[in-house]
Structure 1
Amino acid sequence: MALRPDLATIANAVPTGARVLDVGCGDGELMAALQTKSVDARGLEIDPANVTAAIARGQSVVQGDANRDLADYPGDAFDYAILSQTLQTTERPDRVIDELLRIAPRAFVSFPNFAHWRVRLALLWGGRMPVTRLLPVAWYETPNIHHVTVSDFRDLLRAKGIAVEGAWYLSGDKPTSDAAASWRAEHAIFLISRAAS
């Protein structure tokens, strides 16, 4: 089974042999792909059913909540932390990013872009919270508590002095340009790192 396009992008970018913590790892699909590259992949997942599924795949996963349990990991325990399609579900995304960069010098963060043109159009013409491929449920059912745009995320990184080492933007399953990302990207993936001291 093919990886989701954002996970495939991350899997391709993680170097062979890296130590990785996948936060919000789901059923371990990305971790399984990373292990084919001799990556030491560990996972943290809040959903007990996903934890069970990942463990059944032979993954090293613990049940936990990114909002609280990242603090239990020692500093620099990993080479990379990954937070894919989870940022918008956290209580304080800014603090979660700080924790990611405390436990690893680099982090991949991906999220659905709330400024995508279909979302804008749904709000403009329908006046309602949109239901899209990446935001597939009604506003009252969604686990998302913070909607984020590419521009919002870039501004947060700038304010925190966090470096962007790479960025990928997907429209559907295809890459789109950085110049058009704020309105054309359905999904954004950033590789971020601590600012040089």
Structure 2
Amino acid sequence: MPLFRHAEFVTSIAKPAGLPVAKGPEIAFVGRSNAGKSSAINALVGHTRLAYVSKTPGRTQLLNLFRTPAGLYLVDLPGFGFAKVPEAVRRGWADLIERYLHEREALVGLIHIMDVRHPLTALDRQLLDWFLPSGKPVHVLLTKADKLSHGARTATLAQVRRALAPWSGQVTVQLFSALRKQGVEEVETVVGGWLTGILLEPDGAHI
């Protein structure tokens, strides 16, 4: 069975204190508002509406947990950046994201969503600089790859890999298109490597 398929919604959390006790390994998805995070999650799980998709930045206002049949939890974090919401709300989102990424022991790795047309913004770099000292792996998805020509997206991929080369042992990068379902298997391979020996199937057997 594909790693992410048949995930089901578990709960939504508005504040760090609302986080439930972890019941399995967790993979977090984070990215700037409107970078294509919800579309990427939907493509990975094979469901068109599991994660909410909107053209309005900042619509993912809660931390949402989903569980796969194998016991892997996918954590959709609020988008950060230039969402059209009050400053107090943005601060609340930032606190929720930071507390989760810093304190959650069940977190195995981070999938960082970036629009291939606007990768490595100042906010993206800030998040990476803050998270990488944790030592946990980061996989960058350059989403909306279908929006660029083959040559342009290949050049962007190479550019981002060069920029992140100092962390090559911890950070990996790939192209992704939710529209064309491009890159799903590559994500599963990367995350599967993170989970070797720790992901439990429903019967409790280690993979």
Which TM-score band applies after superposition, normalised by the shorter structure?
Answer: 0.3 to 0.5
Give the alignment's TM-score, normalised by structure 1: 0.42
Give the alignment's TM-score, normalised by structure 2: 0.40
**Which structure's relative contact order is higher, taking Cα pairs within 8 Å and 6+ residues apart?**
2
